[in-house]
């Protein structure tokens, strides 16, 4: 089983968390396969996906060791418990639930709660968050907002989500983001509708390339 430290290392090394928010479980499994083919090893299945827990179980069996599977849109400790039992290796939330953070720490599972203001971010960190999801980041200024936050809060790993695309992903990394969370800009709904999963694979490769280039250039 992949330990908490290994999950954190993969997150910071790869720098991309692929957010899968689709309607059905079959689509989610197909999208995960396309993402893996594109080199993505951190896949977040949101709890809004129909049959999300079964998808997490299936993907853990299918990609054991190769891909780290997490649960997203985990709003509270109860949902977190269900996700962990299904095999989720990390939990991501759009909100700040102190009970969820406590549960994840007890179970030794990586937890990335959502926060927006400096006060919320520090509160999440002090409560035991491993990283903090800054959401929705586009509405607050995008990469410049992350840069402003990292000035006084250099010790807190931030994962901007909501509005991250191929054009600005590198800017987020250069602004100090530990990783970025990408959903709709990566998991293209039109491609899914046409069952053209190769588009998702190629987009995944492009995102990883942009992130690695940004890190090399600093």
The per-residue pLDDT for range 177-201, each reduced to its tens digit, is: 999 999 999 999 999 999 999 999 9
Determine, yes or no, domain membership for 74.
Answer: yes
Displacement of CA 28 from its chain's centroid (Å) = 15
Dihedral sign (CA 33, 68, 114, 218): negative
What does the pLDDT read at residue 64? 87
The arithmetic mean of pLDDT across residues 133-145, rounded, is 96
Give the chain's domain count. 1
133 is a catalytic site residue: yes
Domain-embedded: residue 218: no
Give the pLDDT mean for 26-37: 97
**Exposure b/e, 147-175, CB count within 10 A at least 16 = b:** bebbeebeebbbbbbbbbbeebbbbbbeb
Q: Give yes or no: 44 in active site.
A: yes
Q: Which long-range contacts (CB under 8 A, 24 or more apart) does 79-85 make?
A: 79/47, 80/104, 80/111, 82/53, 83/47, 83/52, 83/53, 83/56, 84/109, 85/53
CB 181 within 8 A of CB 44: yes
Q: Against a cut of 0.95, is the pTM above it?
A: yes
Among candidate residues 14, 27, 36, 44, the one labeled active-site is 44
pLDDT band at 1 (very low <50, low <70, confident <90, very high): very low
Q: Which residue do the tokens 């053209």 mark?
A: 196
Annotated catalytic residue, options 26, 133, 150, 185? 133
- Whether 217 is in a domain gets the answer no
Q: Is residue 177 a part of any domain in this protein?
A: yes
Boundaries of domain holding 20? 4-212
């Amino acid at each position: 089983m992949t330990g908490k430290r290994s999950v954190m290392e993969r997150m910071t090394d790869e720098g991309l968390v692929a957010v899968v928010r689709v309607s059905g479980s079959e689509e989610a499994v197909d999208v995960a396969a396309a993402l893996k083919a594109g080199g993505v090893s951190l896949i977040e299945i949101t709890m809004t996906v129909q049959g999300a827990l079964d998808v997490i179980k299936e993907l853990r069996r299918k990609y054991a060791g190769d891909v780290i599977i997490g649960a997203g849109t985990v709003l509270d400790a109860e949902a977190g418990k269900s996700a962990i039992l299904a095999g989720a290796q990390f939990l991501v939330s759009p909100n700040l639930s102190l009970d969820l953070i406590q549960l994840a720490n007890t179970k030794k599972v990586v937890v990335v709660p959502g926060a927006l203001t400096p006060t919320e971010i520090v509160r999440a960190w002090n409560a035991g968050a491993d990283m903090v999801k800054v959401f929705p980041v586009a509405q607050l200024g995008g990469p410049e907002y992350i840069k402003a936050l990292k000035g006084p809060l250099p010790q807190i790993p931030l994962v901007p989500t909501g509005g991250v695309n191929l054009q600005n992903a590198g800017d987020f990394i250069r602004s100090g983001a530990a990783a970025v969370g990408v959903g709709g800009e990566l998991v293209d709904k039109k491609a899914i509708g046409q069952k053209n999963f190769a588009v998702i694979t190629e987009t995944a490769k492009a995102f990883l390339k942009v992130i690695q280039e940004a890190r090399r250039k600093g």
